[in-house]
Amino acid sequence: MTAIVVAHHIPYAAQAATSHWQDLSRKVERAAQADGPSFLNVLATCPPGWGHDAKDSVRLSRIAVESRYWPLFEVVEGHYRITHRPARQRPLEEWLNLQRRFSHLHGERGADLVVRLQAELDEGWAQLLERDGADAEWFRAREEAGA
C-alpha cells in the first residue's frame, strides 16, 4: 500500500507500528506538517481477526518490525529513509506462528512457502536499504539546512 501511495508522488508517506510509538509520533507530526497530502501506513494488530490474545498485540507488532516484515521508514518528496533498523532480524516464521490466521503455514505443511516468503522479505529489505543509502545525503543536506 505504501509503495502505491509513494508512486503517486505525495510529499510525505511513512510506515509505522504501534509497538514503536515514538517513531509513530514523529511521523504523525511530519505528516501534519507536510506541504500537501500525506499518508501513514500503521501496523495495528487485530486480535480476533489475526487469532492471537489481545495481551500479545504490542509483542506481535514488535516482532513484525524486527522480522522486517513491517519495516519502519518514511518517504519525503520521493526520498527514502529507514527510521528503525532492528539490531537482529527475527525469522518471519516466528511472527507467522503467533497467529491462527496463518495456521496453514505452521510446521512442515507450509515450510516451503515460509522459506519463499522469507526470501521475498529479505529481498525487499535489501531494496529498502539501497534506497535509504542512495538518499542519505539528501536527508543530511536537508537537516543541515534546517528543514
Nearest by Cα to 128 from 59, 70, 46, 89? 70
Considering the domain 2-144 in this protein, what is its CATH number?
A: 3.40.50.970
Chain segment 28-65, per-residue pLDDT in tens: 999 999 999 999 999 999 999 999 999 999 999 999 99
Nearest by Cα to 1 from 105, 91, 83, 75? 75
**What is the model's pLDDT at position 147?**
73
- Residue 144, C-alpha cell as written in the block: 543541515
**Helices vs strands, H then E, count in the chain:** 6, 4
**What is the model's pLDDT at position 8?**
96
Chain segment 65-122, per-residue pLDDT in tens: 999 999 999 999 999 999 999 999 999 999 999 999 999 999 898 999 999 999 999 9
**What is the model's pLDDT at position 68?**
97
* Domain segments of the chain as ranges: 2-144
- The residue-averaged pLDDT of 118-131 equals 97
